[in-house]
């Protein structure tokens, strides 16, 4: 709050912020009627109530606007810097508001004024305060004039990097990346100045990489990934290789864990000479005592597959390490290695994939961990694209069939989700002979999610098999799914039937007997099956010919409109809402609308159930007056 002086006595009455912004600037600057805003802010910051101090921080923009740029730079910012609060809530409020001060100190040309204040905030022990202040710091760096990068920003980062607390040094590692990025974007800066700044940035980063505090080294490893692309190739290889080597050999496994990705990124970008020097480092990480590090190596192996194989190192040696990860003692490592099978196989000769990758994968078919088998199931179908038809039939198909019979539903689901890939590779003959029996068996799986996934896949499978094969092998099965005990499966079955009708055509649907089998559900004793039929009529009416609707659908609806179950009658009204617009569009159907549809809806309007009446009215309102 701002307060007025009246009659030479302190009479405290609040001034609105709007008063300050709109009309009181000149008074605040020179009229003794007003207490200086900085003094008032100081009083509030000294309040014993944390909430008062927090609120004062949230009003910094108003105070700065009232003071003007010069006094904000000369009075407000130094005051804030000299009175940094120890309460995290107050520091958080200041960190959140500090970016708004940039325009009040005079914009980007004066942004350096805020650097000492930001230094204090990024030194805070509270993580949220530090991260919020770092975000603000980075925003100010982006707009900072190029001349200030060396004059103001670099010294600020140097002070942080040489600080005593881990928070200062950790923040310095983040800001070194921001500085390097800004230097790279500097279009008017002399090359010698750029090189001097980058040299100093790398020197500071290297010093932080060997800091005695593990938290600092972790921050360096975490930020090294972002720094690597910003360093010029001429100086990157030697200096960054040394950094990676130090971090990868760190006594703390948490640091080594974070070093895996920088090593990977550097190997992707460095010269062949330096690449060869880094391979032993990467392989050492792959055999680290910590399973978490081996897990990270396995997870990133696919990214390096092409580079590793194309280097001067024997691909067999590299693949031996990868296969060792697939046989690791920890299930998490084996799962991560399995997730990279396709990536690795796609960049090596098919013969090596068969000899090494597939043979290692085969041992995982009976892995005790379902997670490993599930990860393998996601990849095997994809590998078939790499191997081709003959090798896939010989090597991959037997493994896929075994996984389709796996005791874990997650494994079976993962295989099913990628079936279309192997189907495209092996061809229709092998599909019908080998894969189809397993697929049909899964349609009756005890896990409803497996049944649902198979049902979703059947229309696509039918497109490969053709009409005749579908009629012979799958038509009755497709209808039987409508009788499933699980509602979600029945809904999926309805959608599957719709897609099949859309695929093979309305005429085929009638001639094949599929529609007749569907309509027989109108006689089912279980009302849920009758409701499933109505759902099917609602969804398929848009993919069949109009005569099918008038001759087949409408009589069924007329019969079920008098069903003793209210939910069935309700679904009749909903089905009519879908069918009526189609009949209206076909002018020759006017007679069908007049009778029996209009009388049917009028009868439903008099139903005892309010929902039935409401939906019947909605359907009736669609029909124009004849």
Q: What is the pLDDT of residues 98-142, one digit of tens each?
A: 888 888 898 889 999 999 999 999 998 889 999 999 999 999 999
- Helix ranges (H only) for 287-349 are 291-310, 315-326, 331-338, 341-345
Q: Which of 277-291, 366-380, 567-581 has the lowest mean pLDDT?
A: 277-291
**CA–CA dist 453, 162 (Å, integer):** 59
Q: How confident is the model at residue 312 (pLDDT cuts 50, 70, 90)?
A: very low
Domain layout of the chain by residue ranges: 291-442
Neighbours of 69 (CB within 10 A): 16
**CA–CA dist 531, 595 (Å, integer):** 23
State pLDDT tens for residues 182-239. Answer: 998 888 888 889 889 999 999 999 999 999 999 999 999 999 999 998 988 777 767 8
Instruction: Give exposure, 425-455, as e/b (b: 16+ Cβ within 10 Å).
Output: bbeeebbeeebbebbeebbebeebbbbbbbb
State pLDDT tens for residues 432-458. Answer: 777 778 878 888 888 898 889 888 888
State pLDDT tens for residues 522-549. Answer: 989 999 999 999 999 999 999 999 889 9
**CA–CA dist 518, 592 (Å, integer):** 22
Closest to 596 (Cα-Cα) out of 563, 549, 564, 529: 549
Give the model's pLDDT for residue 37: 61
Whether residue 395 is predicted with pLDDT greater than 90 in this model: the reply is yes
Q: Which of 86-100, 177-191, 418-432 has the lowest mean pLDDT?
A: 418-432
Closest to 533 (Cα-Cα) out of 500, 571, 562: 571
- What's the whole-model pTM score? 0.76
Mean residue pLDDT across the chain: 85
State pLDDT tens for residues 460-505. Answer: 888 877 888 888 888 888 888 888 889 999 999 999 999 999 998 8
Give the model's pLDDT for residue 35: 47
State pLDDT tens for residues 136-173. Answer: 999 999 989 999 999 999 999 999 999 989 999 999 99
**CA–CA dist 474, 504 (Å, integer):** 14
Give the model's pLDDT for residue 150: 93
**CA–CA dist 282, 274 (Å, integer):** 12
User: Which span out of 17-26, 42-51, 323-332, 498-507 was modeled with the highest average pLDDT?
Assistant: 323-332
Give the model's pLDDT for residue 341: 94
Q: How confident is the model at residue 310 (pLDDT cuts 50, 70, 90)?
A: low
Q: How confident is the model at residue 612 (pLDDT cuts 50, 70, 90)?
A: very high
Closest to 541 (Cα-Cα) out of 568, 566, 518, 565: 518
Q: Which two tokens stand for residue 256?
A: 């080594």
Whether residue 47 is predicted with pLDDT greater than 90 in this model: the reply is no
**CA–CA dist 423, 369 (Å, integer):** 27
Q: How confident is the model at residue 358 (pLDDT cuts 50, 70, 90)?
A: very high
Whether residue 16 is predicted with pLDDT greater than 70 in this model: the reply is no
Q: Which two tokens stand for residue 232?
A: 């010029």
Thinking of the domain 291-442, which architecture would CATH place it in? Alpha Horseshoe (1.25)
Q: Which of 91-95, 337-341, 372-376 has the lowest mean pLDDT?
A: 91-95
Interval 380-391 mean pLDDT: 90
- Residue-by-residue DSSP string for 412-437: HHHHHHTHHHHHHHH-HHHIIIIIHH
Closest to 346 (Cα-Cα) out of 378, 288, 388: 388
Whether residue 335 is predicted with pLDDT greater than 90 in this model: the reply is yes
Q: Which two tokens stand for residue 244?
A: 């990676």
């Amino acid at each position: 709050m701002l307060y007025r002086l009246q009659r030479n006595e302190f009479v405290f009455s609040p001034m609105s912020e709007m008063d300050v912004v709109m009309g009181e600037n000149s008074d605040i600057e020179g009229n003794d009627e007003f207490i200086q805003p900085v003094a008032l802010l100081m009083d509030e910051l000294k309040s014993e109530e944390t909430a008062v101090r927090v609120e004062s921080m949230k009003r910094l923009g108003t105070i700065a606007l009232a003071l003007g740029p010069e006094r904000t730079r000369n009075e407000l910012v130094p005051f804030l810097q000299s009175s940094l609060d120890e309460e995290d809530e107050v520091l958080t409020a200041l960190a959140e508001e500090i970016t708004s001060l940039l325009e009040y100190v005079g914009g980007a040309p004066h942004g350096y004024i805020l650097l000492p204040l930001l230094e204090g905030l990024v030194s805070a022990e509270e993580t949220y305060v530090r991260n919020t202040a770092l975000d603000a710091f980075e925003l100010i760096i982006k707009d900072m004039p190029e001349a200030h990068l060396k004059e103001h920003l670099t010294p600020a980062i140097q002070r942080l990097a040489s600080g005593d607390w881990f928070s200062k040094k950790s923040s310095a590692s983040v800001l070194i990346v921001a500085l390097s990025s800004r230097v790279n974007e500097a279009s008017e800066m002399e090359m010698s100045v750029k090189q001097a700044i980058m040299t100093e940035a790398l020197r500071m980063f290297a010093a932080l990489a060997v800091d005695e505090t593990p938290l600092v080294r972790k921050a360096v490893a975490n930020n090294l990934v972002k720094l690597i692309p910003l360093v010029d190739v001429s100086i990157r290889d030697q200096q960054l290789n040394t950094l990676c080597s130090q971090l990868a050999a760190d006594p703390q496994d948490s640091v080594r864990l974070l070093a895996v990705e920088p090593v990977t990124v550097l190997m992707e970008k460095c010269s062949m000479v330096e690449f060869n020097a880094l391979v032993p480092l990467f392989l050492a990480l792959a055999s680290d005592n910590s399973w978490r590090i081996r897990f990270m190596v396995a997870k990133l192996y696919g990214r390096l597959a092409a580079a590793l194989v194309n280097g001067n190192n024997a691909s067999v040696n590299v693949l031996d390490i990868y296969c060792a990860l697939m046989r690791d003692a920890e299930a998490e490592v084996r799962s991560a290695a399995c997730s990279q099978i396709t990536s690795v196989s796609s960049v090596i000769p098919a013969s090596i994939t068969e000899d090494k990758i597939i043979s290692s994968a085969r041992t995982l078919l009976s892995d005790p961990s379902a997670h490993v088998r599930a990860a393998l199931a996601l990849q095997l179908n994809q590998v078939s694209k790499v191997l081709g038809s003959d090798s896939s039939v010989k090597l991959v198909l037997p493994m896929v069939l075994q996984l389709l019979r796996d005791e874990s539903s997650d494994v079976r689901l993962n295989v099913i989700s990628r079936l279309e890939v192997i189907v495209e590779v092996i061809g229709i003959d092998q599909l019908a002979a080998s894969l189809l029996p397993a697929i049909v068996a899964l349609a009756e799986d005890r896990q409803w999610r497996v049944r649902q996934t198979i049902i979703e896949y059947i229309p696509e499978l039918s497109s490969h098999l053709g009409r005749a094969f579908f009629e012979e092998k799958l038509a009755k099965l497709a209808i039987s799914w409508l009788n499933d005990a699980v509602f979600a499966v029945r809904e999926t079955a309805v959608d599957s039937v719709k897609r099949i009708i859309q695929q093979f055509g309305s005429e085929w649907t009638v001639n094949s007997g599929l529609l007749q089998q569907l309509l027989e559900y109108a006689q089912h004793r279980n009302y849920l099956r009758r409701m499933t039929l109505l759902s099917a009529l609602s969804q398929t009416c848009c993919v069949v010919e109009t005569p099918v609707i008038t001759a087949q659908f409408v009589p069924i609806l007329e019969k079920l409109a008098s069903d003793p179950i209210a939910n069935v009658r309700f679904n009749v009204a909903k089905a009519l809402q879908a069918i009526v617009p189609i009949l209206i569009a076909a002018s020759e159907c006017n007679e069908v609308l007049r009778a029996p549809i209009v009388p049917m809806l009028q009868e439903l309007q008099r139903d005892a159930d309010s929902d039935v009446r409401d939906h019947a009215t909605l359907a009736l309102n669609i029909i124009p007056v004849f």
